[in-house]
Structure 1
Amino acid sequence: MVLVIETWVISDDIPAPVSSEVVRETLRLRIGSGRFETWLISSSGRSLAFVTNTERAMVMLLEEEGDPGEHAVEPGSDGSSDGFVLSNGQHDEYPDQDTVPIGEAFRLVEHIVGTGSWPADAHWVVDR
């Protein structure tokens, strides 16, 4: 049996594979340059979205284009946060329960890029 490893690239960047070992630093560099929305595309056609306001992040995993997907949540969080700036200039606000603290978001993205799935201890919901 041959194990096929899924590779990920950043959709609006040089199409070089991004590994789980460098994805956190890559996201930090993008945030530092004012790019708060990042889409990673896998070799199997899946998409991983990361949108942040630098304190919290929305992390979504989609199986294909048009898929409502799945997203990370923080159960029990109250309130909402704004300052999520999309690449088209749109400013969004999300309930805190539908986003996670930035450190957790980095961990989730690293794990998904490295293994193709959510960590066993992650909280996420299916939006399909």
Structure 2
Amino acid sequence: MIAFEFNGERLQPSSTEELGCLIDRFDRSPMFELWAKAPSGACLCMLRNRDAAFLFYLRQEGDSGFTSRSTYERLGTASFLLSNRQRDEFPLSWCIDVEQCYKAMAYFFENAGDKPEWITWYED
């Protein structure tokens, strides 16, 4: 079963419908850190600051992983608030549409931790 952490709060949806309700709840927060963790060790993280959002995908703990990339050039950085209250800056070129991030979270949930391949990824 895929477990989620929303700003440090552990959540365990049992169905796609329940995950959809949680995503509606998450969407009301303009800034957050969301993790999805599979029993296999794969993880998908979404960071959001209003319209700026991006993904990290890790195959297992300690993996350098992958980060999402925009399909068009975006200059500058955006500030993201992590669940430990730390603020980090990341390039806007990593950011993709917020809805694509939610869709990727649902795919990860429904496919036991598989990486959503329609996202443009960069292996870090």
Question: Could you tell me the TM-score, scaled by structure 1's length?
Answer: 0.76
Aligned AA (1:123): T
Tell me the number of residue pairs that the alignment of Structure 1 and Structure 2 aligns.
121
1:70 to 56, 66, 72: 66
1:39 aligned residue: 35
For residue 21 of structure 1, report the CA deviation from its aligned partner: 4.0
RMSD of equivalent CA atoms: 2.4
The answer on 1:123 being equivalent to 2:123 is no
Contact 2:78 2:89 survives alignment (8 Å): yes
Residue type at the aligned position of 2:3: V
Aligned pair in 2 of structure 1 residues 26, 103: CA closer, same or farther (>3 Å)? same
Unaligned stretches of 5+ in structure 1? 1-6
Q: Deviations over 1:64-119 (max 9, x none)?
A: 22111112111332213423111111222221221212111111221222223334
Unaligned runs of 5+ in 2: none
Work out which of the two has the higher radius of gyration on C-alpha atoms and give 1 or 2: 1
Query: Which piece of structure 1 moves more, 43-52 or 80-89?
Result: 80-89
TM (norm. structure 2) is: 0.78
Identity of matched residues, %: 24
Q: What amino acid is aligned across from residue 2 of structure 2 in structure 1?
A: W
